[in-house]
Structure 1
């Protein structure tokens, strides 16, 4: 039986209050962290892990759902501090996390630069530089749809493309919990599709949401918005 614990983080970033929900999964001897936040969050992550009743030294694996800066920005620092931790991600996302390919979010941001108001361009250039300088990290294990992340085979990677081409969610079978990453979001307990502005393929994102309805679920943890409970199949159908 695995145990899934959300780690709610609240902090200020570039003048904005951000709320993120990395997640811990305890499965046998594995302690898996799903996503690790923006650069500079390792201290807050360590505190959240300790508040959940664990020690950061117990971490065995970090699973990155996709290569957006708010999901893997602290990975480099985390890996340096805890070098035994193994990094997991989808085959499609690994090249972006490692820096072998240019960030698709940076490509998107650069593509709209000429169309934004002149007074926003200085900010945009700073954001481009921020994305370009996210520390890259080699992925130790490449995941395909249906692969187990833990040794016991209870924690399963689910391909949920759309927001990003290689986006993966995580299904904890014994806990009947889905860690959705950015495949879904929540707002005041209401389940929603991810923001279309940041989803690179809306049709794929819709197909991924429909795919999730086949799993036996009692709760969903969204990286943005936190936990949603209730009649999950109906909530997914309503999307």
Structure 2
């Protein structure tokens, strides 16, 4: 798979709910250690550890966890990870109450993962230094109230979270309506991404796609029809 130097996807197949699910957390190298973008559900930690060892790292090398949003398939394993690693936890300020347990996750039906305190509440425009250049937080709400994507302008690389997906009929597609409570805002977020210079995309559901701005503009047009 083509990747920017210092950015690695960690595809893992896990049991989630009553189905098997393949997810793609991303890890980014920095001078301080690793930034993990999304953790996965409670069953994902072993898979993360195996992938990191293949890259020459351990779980203990993670110093920062950035959650794109609070859904259980992205944040459910955070409590277990924190039992092993003393990592800083960051997410958008609109997602923090769900992660920390002040509110139940929107799609949980009352059954939630163990809450974890949020150390840093992010906003759009924040940049985190990495080996791959600055990692910029892009606010992309809709799939969740404070969903964020992560953009690497030096490599024109987008880590899309669930703002875009790559596990359907199209190599790259818009958010899934059945899992997106506010589709109007989600469409606006895709339009925000279309304004960026993107050559390739990492989706949490579907992994790496060698497509970017041209395809995202097409998705905007389709969603607005």
Note whether the superposition's TM-score is higher than 0.5. yes
Flag the 1:2–1:60 CA change in 2: closer, same or farther, 3 A. farther
Deviation at 1:52, TM superposition (A): 2.6
Alignment of 1:168-179 (within 5 A): 168-179=148-159
Which residue among 71, 96, 121 is the counterpart of 1:94? 96
Cα distance in 2 between the residues matched to 1:17 and 1:7: 16
Q: Which structure is higher in helix share? A: 1
TM-score relative to the length of structure 1: 0.84
What residue ranges of structure 2 are gaps of 5+ in the alignment?
220-225
Larger Rg over CA atoms: 1
Which residue among 173, 176, 192 is the counterpart of 1:195? 176
| Matched residue count | 214
Flag the 1:170–1:155 CA change in 2: closer, same or farther, 3 A. same
Deviation at 1:175, TM superposition (A): 2.8
Flag the 1:52–1:176 CA change in 2: closer, same or farther, 3 A. farther
Does the 8 A contact of 1:3 with 1:175 survive in 2? no
Cα distance in 2 between the residues matched to 1:225 and 1:190: 8
Root-mean-square deviation (Å) = 1.8
TM-score relative to the length of structure 2: 0.89
Deviation at 1:145, TM superposition (A): 0.5
Deviation at 1:29, TM superposition (A): 2.5
Cα distance in 2 between the residues matched to 1:13 and 1:187: 16
Which residue among 209, 218, 238 is the counterpart of 2:199? 218
Cα distance in 2 between the residues matched to 1:138 and 1:14: 24
Cα distance in 2 between the residues matched to 1:2 and 1:157: 19
Per the alignment, residue 163 of structure 2 pairs with 183
What residue ranges of structure 1 are gaps of 5+ in the alignment?
110-127
Cα distance in 1 between the residues matched to 2:129 and 2:119: 14
